[in-house]
Amino acid sequence: MGLGFFCGSGKIRHKYTSEEAEGELDLKQGRRRAWRKSEFKFGGPSQSGDAFPLLQKGDCFYVENGKRWLIYNDTLDREMHVTMHFDADAYVFACERTQLSREPSGWVAKIVAYPLETVPFVFFDSRHVIYSEMETVPQPLTEAYLQKVNTAAVARLQQEKEELMGIASRCCAEEEILRICR
């Protein structure tokens, strides 16, 4: 399952027992309906599923899509460091960027989600999963990330300039250049 309560800035703590499952499903469905009515600040996750807030202000969400969970960062200026602890008997599998480790208390999955990113986090062998703790820490963007994004933007700008120069060299009228670029 994925329902807990907030404590601190970004921690959710709760441990499920099988007797609580039915009541927790009702609470979870109520939260799901509440978040469906809400709007995301920047459009929402790029993948479908039920989104649940990881922070009280809703800047970061986990998205349940069947047996797969994704993390969505709904900010422009922060990276979200998400850590989730799962019971030892859970069958948890890491997605591409997720760091998954086994500890005496169970599985620990960690990931960093960058602005407006919906990133695959973990997937399971069943739909009903038990977790014991979840922590989300928003941090300023690192210099390395900003450099990577700027380098990619400069390369794309250069490519677009070259394409535009190629179009402009074949014709002279500005209206025709604009028509081709559309």
Q: Are residues 95 and 177 in the same domain?
A: no
Count of CB atoms within 10 A of residue 64's CB? 18
Q: Are residues 46 and 81 in the same domain?
A: yes
CATH code, domain carrying 14: 2.60.40.1180
pLDDT digits 0-9 by tens, 122-171: 999 876 777 788 999 999 999 999 999 999 999 999 998 898 888 777 77
How many distinct structural domains can be found in the chain? Answer: 2
Q: Where are the beta strands (DSSP E) in the chain?
A: 5-7, 11-13, 50-53, 60-65, 68-73, 78-87, 92-94, 99-103, 106-113, 118-124, 131-140
Distance separating alpha carbons of residues 122 and 156, to the nearest angstrom = 32
pLDDT at 28: 57
CB 114 within 8 A of CB 79: yes
Count of CB atoms within 10 A of residue 137's CB? 18
Mean pLDDT throughout 85-104? 92
Q: Are residues 95 and 158 in the same domain?
A: no
Q: Are residues 128 and 154 in the same domain?
A: no
Q: Are residues 73 and 86 in the same domain?
A: yes
CB 80 within 8 A of CB 70: no
Query: What is the gyration radius of the CA atoms in the chain, in angstroms?
Result: 21
Domain range for 156 is: 144-181
What band does 8 get if pLDDT is binned at 50, 70 and 90?
Answer: very low
Q: What is the pTM of this model?
A: 0.73
